[in-house]
Amino acid sequence: MIRIYNFPRGARGLRIFWQCEEMGLAYEPVLIPFPYPDDYRTRNPAGGVPFLEDDAAGVAIHESLAIMLYLAERYGPTRLLPDRDDPALARVLQMTVFSEATLGGRMNPMMEARFSAPDVDKQNWSVRALGGRMAHALGYLSDLLGDRPYLVGDHLTLADVANVTALGMWRGALDGQVPANLAAWRDRLAERPAYQRAQARAAG
């Protein structure tokens, strides 16, 4: 059994649920509260969500992108991840990592400031600087997508799954604005039946 631990409606875990739904993988969502229960800290000493346990393989890992790549490699082949001989593989890997290294990595301290900092620090220099960098990154993403339906090639890949859920964090947790083509892309992919099923399971 594949178990995926996540906060209710947590966007990073939603990535994994969505991927499992697209791949037709059976999985069990385990929704946990914050602060983390003691038994969860025992399972995942690093803390954070999502966290995956795959009993069949004896695997227990965290970090959403690592989990995505693990599932695609172990339970593929899947159209979500191109074959190693496909030139599109490099771009899919780049843009999947972009969703966390560039987008998520900047949003984390912004969310900490918004929800945990004293009022005087909620819009400090770092937050303002990160906001500018996010605008640049979203502009890059918008230009890369253009008017195409998917980030890479002619079908859904991990790059779409990872970045669409990052946009959900930006818009939902930080009230961030996105270029019109990115908003339309996210809204269109959110209509996929696999996304709808994943979202329902992420909500509990």
Please name the residues in contact with 184: beta carbons below 8 A apart, sequence gap of 6 or more: none
Answer whether residue 204 shows pLDDT above 90: no
Asked if residue 125 and residue 66 are part of one domain, the reply reads no
**Model confidence pLDDT, tens digit, residues 138-147:** 999 999 999 9
- Taking the C-alpha atoms of residue 59 and residue 123, their distance in angstroms, rounded to an integer, is 41
The pLDDT assigned to 146 comes to: 98
Q: How far is CA 132 from each of CA 73, 126, 173, rounded to the nearest angstrom?
A: 36, 10, 17
Do 36 and 92 fall within a single domain? no
Q: What is the 3-state secondary structure (H, E, C) of 100-149?
A: HHHHHHHHHHHHHHHHHCCHHHCCCHHHHHHHHHHHHHHHHHHHHHCCCC
Task: Examine the domain organization and report whether 111 and 180 are in the same domain.
Answer: yes
**Contact present, 71 and 19 (Cβ < 8 Å):** yes
pLDDT of residue 114: 94
Neighbours of 58 (CB within 10 A): 7
Dihedral-angle region of residue 56 (phi above 0 means left; psi in -120 to 50 means alpha; beta otherwise):
alpha
* pLDDT over threshold 90, residue 167: yes
pLDDT tens digits for range 45-103:
999 999 999 999 999 999 999 999 999 999 999 999 999 999 999 999 999 999 999 99
Q: Are residues 188 and 199 both part of a single domain?
A: no
Instruction: Say if residue 111 is in the same domain as residue 178.
Output: yes
What is the DSSP secondary structure assignment for residue 190, as one 8-state letter? T
Note down the domain range covering 38.
Answer: 2-80+194-203
The pLDDT value given to residue 31: 97
Q: State whether 183 and 122 are in the same domain.
A: yes
Q: For residues 18 and 9, what is the distance between their CA atoms, to the nearest angstrom?
A: 12
Residue 132 has pLDDT above 90, yes or no: yes
Q: Are residues 165 and 102 in the same domain?
A: yes
Of the chain, the percentage scoring pLDDT greater than 70 comes to 100
**pLDDT confidence of residue 33:** 94
**For residue 55, what are its two tokens?**
């009993």
- How many folded domains does the chain comprise? 2
In this predicted structure, what is the pLDDT of residue 85? 96
